[in-house]
Structure formats: C-alpha cells, structure tokens
Amino acid sequence: MEFPNCFTKLLFTICFSLFSLSCFSVVPQLAYATGGGGGGPCHFPAIFNFGDSNSDTGGLSAAFGQAPPPNGESYFHGPAGRYSDGRLVIDFIAESLGLPYLSAYLDALGSNFTNGANFATAGSTIRPQNMTLHQSGFSPFSLNVQYYQFNDFQRRSQYIRNQGGVFARLLPNAEDFSHALYTFDIGQNDLTAGYFFNMTTDQVREYVPDVLDQFKTVVKYIYDHGGRSFWIHNTGPVGCLPYVMDRVPITAGQVDKVGCATPFNEVARYYNLKLKEAVVQLRKDLPSAAFTYVDVYSVKYELISQAKKHGFVHPLKACCGHGGKYNFNMHHGCGSKIKVHGKEIMVGKSCKDPTVAINWDGVHYTEAANKWVFDQIVSGAYSDPPIPLNKACHMH
C-alpha cells in the first residue's frame, strides 16, 4: 500500500514554511509546569478534536450523507452525525469542561465554532488511503487532511471574526488556540485497513512505526500553530468488534476467553505501545507542551470482559444490526434497508435496552458504553501522567 507520498510531504513543507512567516500571535508558555501533581483546573476555552468515528460529531455526515436512523435516537431523538445511539466520549469531555458539543468543521449548517471544532470523520486513518470511501470504506479526511482543515480554520476564522457581528459570535478568539485542549482518537482504522487489504498481522505490525511517524508530524504542526495541551487516546480492542471478527477469518485458537480475536487485539496493543513511545518522544521534542496519554484500550477491554459486573449484557453483540453470530452483517448495517419476505424493512435496534448494551452497530459503542468509558478516564486513573481531564494543561 503506497501511503506517504512526496506530494503530501511537499504540501506539509509548503504549509509549514508559509506559516512560519505568517503573523499569528502564538502566546508562548501555555502549558504550565507544575511539580508533583499540583495546579488548578485549566479553563480550556475550546476543544479541537482530530479522529475517526469514535469522535465524529457530524463530519462524515456533512460530507457523505447522514448517519441514518436509528443513530442518535436515545439522546438526540434522531440522527446527529454520530455513529451511536447517543453521545460519544468527546461529547462527555465537552460537557465536563462546561463547553457545548463540538460542531464538525465540515458542517456548514447550524455550526458554532466559538468553543472549538471537530475535524474527525468516521473512517479516518492517520495515513492517507489510496482508495475512495466508496471503494474501501475509509474516509478521505485522513489526519493530514484534518490538519490542513485546522490550519485553514485557524487562519480564516480570525479574518472572518474581524468582520464583527454574528461572525464574532461563531468563531473563537485568536488566543483560544493556544489555551485549547487538542484531543486525538485515531489509529484504529490504520490497523483494520491492512487486514481488509488481506495483509498478515506481521505486515500490519511492520507499518505501525510509519503510521506513528505521521501522527507525530501532525502533532508537531499543531504545536507550531500554538497548541500546547494534548489529550491522546490510544486505540481500543478492535479484536472485540463484530465488524472485524466477522470480516477477517480467525482460527479457534485465536479467540480469547471473552470471545475476542487475539491477533487484532495484540496488534492494537502493539500500536499502543508504539503510540506511548511516540508521546514520550513528543514530550522531549516539545518541552513546553503538556501531553496526556489515555489508555482507552484497557477501559474498553475491562468493560467488554467484565460486562456483567458493570451492569451490561451481550458485550460482543451489536444492538442495532441483523443476522449472524454477532447480530452484524456488513452488507446490512444499522439503519440500512433490507427485503424480508418481499417487504422492505429497516435494520434497526434489536436489543431491548441500549442502556445495558455495549456495542451499538458492530463497529461503534453505545452511549451507555461511551459514558462508562468517559467516567473511567476523566479522573486520570488511566492516564499517563495520571492527571484528571480538567488539569491536562499542566506539564509533569
């Protein structure tokens, strides 16, 4: 798979040079050095999020058509650009910081970017893919593209804001970029991409370092634009998700006690190990920024493997889906139409109670699961360094 190409590198170089010359007032010293866990709450004025469907609040829907009903029904009472029955972890993050839900950068309608923007889209990878969304299911808005969009947003928002009136009430202040929280939840699709192109686990492992090099590059560009507080989720146990287990053949010996596929989870853990190393490197390279690495993998695996203990049922079964061992069929996904006995019906919610379901549609988590995950990570218990979300501007 030919991923990184000269064109991308060239573009990065051009953007970078242009911006070193431009006149952003990047307020220095935004992350605050504290010894031994001190420091008050951070008062983040905005969140800028980069990611895939785990944190897409309307990006892919704006570009390629809405996530259909019954997505969104539990909380938003209708489609809300999210692949879930309700809120995502990023929504709970925004809520807990006292900020409104993030508008998708791509969403031209009804958006308010005063408190940040969301560049995530479902199907996004870190490395640009070589196929269209239609061919492969992967979004064209890979992390480098999300960075171009952020770049465009930062530059033009200030120009437009200066026109005053309603524009001043839709866009952030220049200073907010350096005080904002920059959140990341991306990488899962880089792993599945290899498998979906019939690569072996060894071949997938082999390209992980390149994926993370590209991740670091983007984080550094954001830093160059004033970003100082970075909150980085690792990738979840993708081997416990129906869409992977159903699509990629595994042998009986490759299933763990919980029923998850071990090779995919091993690759996810390998990715996370390398991501953690990348974050350590970023701390060295960018000593005036605060980096929080959040072990979402362990939280999600705990939830799936101890579902009953945490009040959930059928951890490997999709709530909204149709057929097969996992109530999942990639050709008849949640919200699609199928013919049964000559009658067209919608693939809808088949679990009785989504508030005790973990998996929503075979790929994504339910609102209840997202809330549970958020509740575990907000305190810092799964973070390195172990500081709570609202102190993630402090360096350690």
Ligand X SMILES: *[C@@H]1O[C@H](CO)[C@@H](O)[C@H](O)[C@H]1NC(C)=O
Residues that bind ligand X (CB under 6 A): 1, 100, 112, 114-115, 130-131, 166, 169-170, 197-198
Alpha helices in 197-286 (DSSP H): 201-224, 242-247, 262-285
Q: Is 77 a catalytic residue?
A: no
Considering beta carbons, is residue 141 or 382 the nearer one to ligand X?
141
Question: Please, what is the minimum distance in Å from the beta carbon of residue 71 to ligand X?
Answer: 25
How far apart (Å, rounded) are the C-alpha atoms in residues 298 and 390?
21
Considering beta carbons, is residue 38 or 209 the nearer one to ligand X?
209
Question: Please, what is the minimum distance in Å from the beta carbon of residue 93 to ligand X?
Answer: 15
Q: Is 56 a catalytic residue?
A: no
How many Å separate Cα 320 from the centre of its chain?
21
Question: Please, what is the minimum distance in Å from the beta carbon of residue 196 to ligand X?
Answer: 7
List 322, 364, 394, 396, catalytic entry: 364
**In this structure, what are the phi and psi dihedrals at residue 280, rounded to the nearest 5 degrees?**
-60, -45
Question: Please, what is the minimum distance in Å from the beta carbon of residue 372 to ligand X?
Answer: 27
Considering beta carbons, is residue 38 or 100 the nearer one to ligand X?
100
Asked if 91 and 76 count as a contact pair (C-beta separation under 8 A), the reply is no
Please state whether beta strands 229-233 and 181-185 pair in parallel, antiparallel, or not at all (unpaired). Answer: parallel
How far apart (Å, rounded) are the C-alpha atoms in residues 187 and 141?
13
- Nearest to ligand X by Cβ — which residue? 1
- The token duo for 295 is 């072990």
Asked if 382 and 298 count as a contact pair (C-beta separation under 8 A), the reply is yes
List 74, 142, 361, 396, catalytic entry: 361
Considering beta carbons, is residue 1 or 18 the nearer one to ligand X?
1
Q: Is 375 a catalytic residue?
A: no
Asked if 50 and 184 count as a contact pair (C-beta separation under 8 A), the reply is yes
Which active-site residues does the annotation give?
53, 361, 364
